[in-house]
Amino acid sequence: MSLKPVYKIVEIRPFSNAFKVSQQIGGVLININGKPAYNYKLSNIILR
């Protein structure tokens, strides 16, 4: 068993993709474009 990173939403930029799909602050990213969020580095998620 290996540990995977978990990404919690702490801020949502107006008119971003997260804003458009009604993500909530405090939520956890599970998938990004159909791929597990743990496959991404935090720096890549922030740039999206």
Residue range(s) defining the domain that contains residue 25 = 7-46
Residue 37 in any domain: the answer is yes
How far from each other are the two terminal CA atoms of the chain, in whole angstroms?
A: 29
In a domain? residue 14: yes
pLDDT for 2-38, tens place per residue? Answer: 899 999 999 998 988 888 888 899 999 999 889 999 9
CA–CA distance, 21 with 3 (Å, rounded to integer): 28
Domain count, the chain: 1
Task: Give domain status of residue 2, yes or no.
Answer: no
pTM of the model: 0.70
| Pairing status of strand 31-32 against strand 28-29 | unpaired
- Are 18 and 24 within 8 A, CB to CB? no
Query: Quick one: pLDDT at residue 30?
Result: 92
